[in-house]
Amino acid sequence: MAFPLTRRGVLGAALAMPALAARADTWPSGPIRIVVPFAPGGSTDAVARLAAPGLQQRLGVPIIVENRSGAAGSIGSDMVAKAKPDGQTWLLTFDSHAVMPVLVPNLPFDLVADFIPVTQIGRAPYVIACQPSKPYKDLADVFATARQKGSVTFGSTGNGTIGHLAMLMLAKRGGAEVTHLPYRGGGLAVNDAVAGHIDMMIGSSALLAPQVSANTLRPLMQLGATRLAGLPAVPTAVESGFDGLTAEAWWGVFAPAKTPAPVVARFHEALVGAYREARIAQQFAEVNQAELVLSDGPALGRFVQSQVETWGKTARENNVKPD
């Protein structure tokens, strides 16, 4: 049912539009904070810092990357959800964003109502890797050892991340027991994997690429739809007999709800421009073994909803509980 505009309503709308425009014209008014809800050293932190110089150049203000880790990313995300919607605070987060409703009891924010999707920056397949001195040549070797010993350990970038859930699916279909060791950030998991303290780890190709290139980690399987150009000899899960199983990490940017649309549009434009710089795009693709997406906000919103449905179901089916 449509309601007629009252004189007060017309006046309010007329006053609000210039106010929004004025806020966009004066934005940014100071340093911009990009909150990464994970510890330094992981792929999300690296993706955020990759764009910071280009953003600073385009927007003319300092760009501060702030790490606020904990509770599957919900601590930093909640900070952004409750931040003043003036365009000075943004969230750059990881795939676990879509699983938080399952993982975090009494989540203090709503994924839809409290955020405006800005862009999906990119995606990268998950890769399973181990220290080269380990006796495993592929995932079949790992699962054979698990069946013999009763279990093997694997690290991930956190409880309930897509990497964690994908490994549970692989182990279930492979008839093996695996013991999950969740880390508060990718850098910590990588350190223990390189040191041989865990049997293997699963992380995005962006996270593991430097160690694979340096031969301090041996890739056993990749979970993209096709083989990465940088890992031509490493089979995918589908090629290894796990039909239909793919898992890709992704990174997305969100604004607090009620951030003015013109401000969101300007930030999106600056962000896309920063990542499309030739040097940055090349590093994202070649060094990080990741693919730029740079979608619009509505596309990110639809994508997150599909991720909530897919991986939320997996978390429930595997009885994944909060840390």
DSSP string, 100-156: HHHHSTT-SS-TTTTEEEEEEEEEEEEEEEE-TTSS-SSHHHHHHHHHHHS-EEEEE
H/E element, 36: strand 32-36
pLDDT given for residue 19 in this prediction: 47
Evaluate whether residue 263 is within a structural domain.
Answer: yes
- Low-confidence stretches of the chain (pLDDT beneath 70): 1-24, 322-323
Amino acid identity for residue 129 in this structure: A
Question: Is 119 in the same domain as 141?
Answer: no
Which range marks the domain in which residue 171 is found? 125-222
Question: Is 95 in the same domain as 146?
Answer: no
pLDDT given for residue 3 in this prediction: 38
Cα–Cα distance between 224 and 226 in angstroms, integer? 5
Evaluate whether residue 323 is within a structural domain.
Answer: no
- 108 touches 77 (CB < 8 A): no
Question: What residues pair up with 154 in beta bridges, in sequence order?
Answer: 180, 200
Evaluate whether residue 208 is within a structural domain.
Answer: yes
Cα–Cα distance between 94 and 153 in angstroms, integer? 23
Note if the pTM is more than 0.85.
Answer: no
Evaluate whether residue 179 is within a structural domain.
Answer: yes
Q: The domain spanning residue 256 has which CATH number? A: 3.40.190.150
Evaluate whether residue 243 is within a structural domain.
Answer: no
Question: Is 115 in the same domain as 258?
Answer: yes
pLDDT given for residue 25 in this prediction: 79
pLDDT given for residue 322 in this prediction: 67
Evaluate whether residue 12 is within a structural domain.
Answer: no
Question: Is 214 in the same domain as 253?
Answer: no
Cα–Cα distance between 317 and 315 in angstroms, integer? 6
- Contact residues for 67 (Cβ-Cβ < 8 A; gap 6+): 36, 37, 38, 39, 40, 45, 76
Q: How many domains does the chain have?
A: 2
Cα–Cα distance between 320 and 323 in angstroms, integer? 9
pLDDT given for residue 20 in this prediction: 47
Among residues 20, 114, 34, which one has the least CA distance to residue 68? 34
pLDDT digits (tens, 9 = 90+) for 263-302: 999 999 999 999 999 999 998 888 778 899 999 999 999 9
pLDDT given for residue 321 in this prediction: 76
pLDDT given for residue 102 in this prediction: 84
Question: Is 263 in the same domain as 297?
Answer: yes
Q: The domain spanning residue 172 has which CATH number? A: 3.40.190.10
- Contact residues for 2 (Cβ-Cβ < 8 A; gap 6+): none
Task: Give, in order, the Cα–Cα distances in Å from 92 to each of 13, 81, 249, 271.
Answer: 32, 12, 13, 11
